[in-house]
Structure 1
Amino acid sequence: MSGRPPFYITTPIYYVNASPHIGHAYTTVACDMVARFKRLDGYDVKFLTGTDEHGQKVEKSAQADGMDPQAFTDRVSRNFRDLATALNCTNDDFIRTTESRHTRACQALWTTLIERDQIYLGSYAGWYAVRDEAFYNEDELTTGPDGVKRAPSGAEVEWVEEPSYFFRLSRWAEPLLKFYDENPDFIAPDSRRNEVLSFVRGGLTDLSVSRTTFQWGVPVPGDDDHIMYVWLDALTNYITAVGYPETDTGQYATHWPADLHMMGKDILRFHAVYWPAFLMAADLAPPRRVFAHGWWTNEGQKVSKSVGNVIDPLTLVETYGLDQVRYFLLREVPFGNDGDYSHRAMVNRMNGDLANDLGNLAQRTLSMIHKNCGQAVPQPGPFADEDRTLLDQAGGLVDTLRAAIDRQALHEALEALWVVVRAANAYVDRQAPWALRKTDPARMATVLYVLAETLRPVAVLMQAVTPDSAARMLDQLGVPADARDIAALGEEAGRALVPGTALPKPVGIFPRYVDETGDAG
């Protein structure tokens, strides 16, 4: 690991009051694409996901199921761990907030905040939404025709009065605004940054950080009548996983601050306001960047359990294939915007992008090599201008993808790959190697070599998105296992395809999807 730059990326920890859905899959797969790309690029990556298992909502869900909260969270947490595995995600750690390492970290952070006069005991009276595990001001609420007060999220609120410890959040408005100003890339995309700035400029009030009306949570050190507010507990997971409270050695010393916290836009405030304030108040470094992505609808409808249109990611994988689902989620919408899932959109991506564009390019190229070049990488002759143009396009992919992924413009990274794929398909049509076979076999060999050498960086980089399919493509290109990273794509690496390398018989990588009606989309 020595000498490799560290990179620490996290999903939010998922709340275990219900089963995983497409939103959970989306965040985890997006983080996995970034983590895989960074590993390909030589980074020492730590990729964390996990489950948030405390709070009143979990306690109520467990009671509704007639279960003990710990047994309930054991069961539901396993679903999220299994989802990450089913999606072929490469998280290095899976954290649960019911683990002893996490209790230890939370209580250490609390103790530090007390010592630094950042937490004080008072009493709370105000509106609380159990569903959101969040407090709301009166001016944030709406009252429906049924007389029920609701939070901006639509969750019902209830009036709560109880003793509470408070975090001195009001002290941190100006330091936070200064931090945002000095770190303009801290919150992304820009629309979300503007929301946060507006919220903080409106003034911050001290935050209730403990509860006494239920017991499912981390006990407050020295006052067992109180448990920690679930968001102080939950956010601490990111430092628990790197060994906090040990900060001088180990993973904390190498990997904190986190390079990227990824989450849905509904929980941005907690990550962009509360979390850096907690950390700065404890004299700990805030994360480098938080990115809030959008939500998914189903065939244009808001996803809702009551409507019955919740999208199960495991069903999608079973129906369409793992790599196909991963590609669709990352390609279909600009990352950061809301997106709509539909069967038609899925099939269009599978058959248009994967089967027709990339799959057909690989199959045509490798089949012609197998048939006409002795089942081995062809020996190229001198490169013409159009050969070099295509090779240069493919060679420029690494820098383009690095820039896009560092901005979390994951869709742009994929579009850049497809610009090269489309250019290669146009090149095949213009060069017509099937005709050159009769008129100029040497030129045919050069064209086929150029195509194979264009596919190589595409396949190497696609390992971040469609890892199994990309590995099969690299197998068929004869790329050795130790030459499948970004370092092997540099000109100085000298790792281009070696003429004469024996190649296996090509097999299709991305089959077309045909539904039960026989419609291929």
Structure 2
Amino acid sequence: MAEPFYLTTAIHYPNGKPHIGHAYETIAADVTARFQRLRGREVRFQTGTDEHGLKMAQKARDLGITPRELADEMSGHFKALFDILNISYDRFFRTSEEAHHLASQALWQAMKDNGDLYLDRYEGWYSVRDEAYYDESELTDGDDGEKLSPQGTPVEWTVEESWFFRLSAYQDRLLAHYCENPDFIRPDGRRNEVVRFVEGGLRDLSVSRTTLDWGVRVPDSESHVMYVWVDALTNYLTGLGYPEKTEDFSKFWPADVHLIGKDIVRFHAVYWPAFLMSAGIELPEQIFGHGFLLNRGQKESKSLGNVTDPVQLAERYGVDVLRYFLLREFTFGQDGSYSAEAIVNRANSELANSFGNLAQRVMSFIAKNCDGVVAATEPPQEADEIVLCKVRKACVEELPAAFEKLAFTAGLEAWMQAVFACNAYVDEQAPWALRKTDPERMKRVLATLCSCIHDLAVAVSPVIPTASAQILDSLCIPADERDFGSLAEDLTAAAIRVNNPKPVFPRLELAEEAT
């Protein structure tokens, strides 16, 4: 039996409505979850919202509402977006849940019992926007002379009593883990950054605040609230029932992948494994830090007026089109730039003109000229075997191998080359001409194409689940023949039925305001 697979996104900070970056990360995670399910693995896919911290408290105060009211409203926006984007999460997690407070306190107690927590006084720089502490050496001067974090966010000098975590005690153990597990942090650029940071020396980490009350209370220290990142990172355990040794925890922990943005790699690849080591809990298998999405090469910001609403993108171009574009257009792990023109061009050239047109013209031809049924009555020729081999190689070998590494662009490129090969095969074999000159040969060609379309639709279904399902429905493929195991089957061995084929990718037009 295939091993279980546990995948998480970062839990998203809901001090505002979700943006395109939240959509990007969660779509990538969903594609991975769907892909692993089709490979026969029992998948646990968790996402959600990180609702505590000073930033949430300040935003709620500015709006004249409570932090809980803000969290409830904004968490609802995230959940609604993920439902629109067809995200197949198994657990939508909120850190305001009571069970999470208990789990965070259990992790805290385990670290304290190990001698890694102590009470002292914190004096240093803190970024409210990042919810992060920074050393003086990491700061830069802004145009107006104010201090800025490495992320370009304002920092403020903070002085307060605080609990500290002995992060410095874990420097050597972390470096050893990175060395012994080279795939623990990916891609390589992220790994190199983390290794350099840790090699530069680790200072003990302030892990509590006394200046706010919106968060998880520190056990036996009621005036303190846990540093939001202690609480936030614990969600990956809470979602499996920690601190209880539940069936889910035993089955799915350690996580296979924490999929996160590159700006929070330090929290996940330095703080999180140190916390787990302290608590005696096994470390996750991999931290993958993806890049940022840029709007026409620029980082989105309200001041530039270029913030994109992912709901509007999905409504304008279609959910499957958006999902496909975001994973096809640029290498996952690196920054990428998008535009309306790029979305429209990619959708039209590859989905509408290539894959969609292939499926529609083949199935429509069968519906109109073969009474919706085709069966191969003669042996395959060399051309048939060549195209089947190309499709099988792409769908059974190349795409899965790439998706296992989260190399979505490479996998979809292999898939698209197989689509091109099928379109070339259609043009070369010309079934419309064979209908008059050699009907039996026509049947073999059409059956071959249906087998190819089945494989292509199944292989790409994690990316475009709705369109793939519509194509497989038209091919009358049973639900239990739509996983990766079915790609080894030869559909040409039996009669193939086609039912009510309809175009799944209408051509898109560029809106005037986007030109």
TM over 0.5, shorter chain: yes
Is the Cα–Cα contact under 8 Å of residues 7 and 43 in structure 1 kept in the other structure?
yes
The amino acid that maps onto 1:130 is V
> Matches of residues 86-125 of structure 1 in structure 2 within 5 Å?
86-125=84-123
Match of 1:191 in 2: 189
Instruction: Give the 3-state SS of the residue equivalent to 2:373 in structure 1.
Output: coil
Q: Pick closer, same or farther for the CA change 1:50–1:474 going to 2, 3 Å.
A: same
CA distance in structure 2 between the aligned counterparts of 1:61 and 1:424, rounded to whole angstroms: 54
CA distance in structure 2 between the aligned counterparts of 1:245 and 1:268, rounded to whole angstroms: 25
CA distance in structure 2 between the aligned counterparts of 1:490 and 1:502, rounded to whole angstroms: 19
Normalising by structure 2, report the TM-score.
0.97
CA distance in structure 1 between the aligned counterparts of 2:270 and 2:200, rounded to whole angstroms: 13
- 143-152 or 309-318: which moved more? 143-152
Is the Cα–Cα contact under 8 Å of residues 10 and 260 in structure 2 kept in the other structure?
yes
Instruction: Give the 3-state SS of the residue equivalent to 1:26 in structure 2.
Output: helix
CA distance in structure 2 between the aligned counterparts of 1:395 and 1:301, rounded to whole angstroms: 40
CA distance in structure 1 between the aligned counterparts of 2:513 and 2:61, rounded to whole angstroms: 47
CA positional deviation for 1:377? 2.9
Encode CA deviations 1:389-426: one digit per residue, 9 max, x unaligned: 11122222223222211211011111121111011111
Match of 2:359 in 1: 362
1:80 to 63, 78, 96: 78
CA distance in structure 2 between the aligned counterparts of 1:106 and 1:359, rounded to whole angstroms: 49
CA positional deviation for 1:498? 5.7
1:500 to 495, 499, 504: 495
Is the Cα–Cα contact under 8 Å of residues 16 and 77 in structure 1 kept in the other structure?
yes
Instruction: Give the 3-state SS of the residue equivalent to 1:184 in structure 2.
Output: coil
Match of 1:466 in 2: 464
Encode CA deviations 1:138-184: one digit per residue, 9 max, x unaligned: 11111224121111111111111111111111111111111111111
2:147 is the alignment partner of 1:152? no
Aligned residues: 514
Encode CA deviations 1:24-49: one digit per residue, 9 max, x unaligned: 00000000000001111111100000
> Matches of residues 319-338 of structure 1 in structure 2 within 5 Å?
319-338=316-335
Is the Cα–Cα contact under 8 Å of residues 54 and 98 in structure 1 kept in the other structure?
yes
Is the Cα–Cα contact under 8 Å of residues 444 and 492 in structure 2 kept in the other structure?
no
> Matches of residues 429-508 of structure 1 in structure 2 within 5 Å?
429-491=427-489, 496=491, 499-508=494-503
CA positional deviation for 1:501? 3.9
Is the Cα–Cα contact under 8 Å of residues 447 and 496 in structure 2 kept in the other structure?
no
Instruction: Note the residue ranges of structure 1 that are not aligned, 5 or more in a row.
Output: none
Is the Cα–Cα contact under 8 Å of residues 447 and 491 in structure 2 kept in the other structure?
no
CA positional deviation for 1:241? 0.2
Match of 2:165 in 1: 167
Instruction: Note the residue ranges of structure 2 that are not aligned, 5 or more in a row.
Output: none
- 426-435 or 356-365: which moved more? 426-435
CA positional deviation for 1:516? 5.0
CA distance in structure 2 between the aligned counterparts of 1:48 and 1:146, rounded to whole angstroms: 42
> Which consecutive aligned stretches of 4+ in structure 1 deviate over 4 angstroms post-superposition?
516-519
Is the Cα–Cα contact under 8 Å of residues 124 and 208 in structure 1 kept in the other structure?
yes
The amino acid that maps onto 2:445 is V
CA distance in structure 1 between the aligned counterparts of 2:106 and 2:163, rounded to whole angstroms: 16
RMSD: 1.5
Is the Cα–Cα contact under 8 Å of residues 39 and 483 in structure 2 kept in the other structure?
yes
CA distance in structure 2 between the aligned counterparts of 1:490 and 1:173, rounded to whole angstroms: 48
> Matches of residues 255-270 of structure 1 in structure 2 within 5 Å?
255-270=252-267
CA positional deviation for 1:4? 4.2
Q: Pick closer, same or farther for the CA change 1:192–1:415 going to 2, 3 Å.
A: same
Q: Pick closer, same or farther for the CA change 1:15–1:427 going to 2, 3 Å.
A: same
The amino acid that maps onto 1:32 is D
The amino acid that maps onto 1:375 is G
Encode CA deviations 1:273-293: one digit per residue, 9 max, x unaligned: 111111011110111011111
Match of 1:510 in 2: 505
Encode CA deviations 1:435-479: one digit per residue, 9 max, x unaligned: 222221111111111111001111112220111100000011121
2:392 is the alignment partner of 1:395? yes
1:56 to 54, 57, 65: 54
CA distance in structure 2 between the aligned counterparts of 1:181 and 1:90, rounded to whole angstroms: 34
Match of 2:203 in 1: 205
2:12 to 11, 14, 27: 14
Q: Pick closer, same or farther for the CA change 1:515–1:402 going to 2, 3 Å.
A: closer
2:275 is the alignment partner of 1:278? yes
- 389-398 or 123-132: which moved more? 389-398
Normalising by structure 1, report the TM-score.
0.96
CA positional deviation for 1:518? 13
The amino acid that maps onto 1:86 is I
Instruction: Give the 3-state SS of the residue equivalent to 1:300 in structure 2.
Output: coil
CA distance in structure 1 between the aligned counterparts of 2:466 and 2:143, rounded to whole angstroms: 53
Is the Cα–Cα contact under 8 Å of residues 377 and 498 in structure 1 kept in the other structure?
no
CA positional deviation for 1:380? 4.3
Encode CA deviations 1:31-79: one digit per residue, 9 max, x unaligned: 0000001111111100000000000000000001100111111111111
Is the Cα–Cα contact under 8 Å of residues 260 and 290 in structure 2 kept in the other structure?
yes
Is the Cα–Cα contact under 8 Å of residues 380 and 449 in structure 1 kept in the other structure?
no
Q: Pick closer, same or farther for the CA change 1:353–1:68 going to 2, 3 Å.
A: same
Percent of aligned pairs sharing the same letter = 52
Instruction: Give the 3-state SS of the residue equivalent to 1:14 in structure 2.
Output: coil
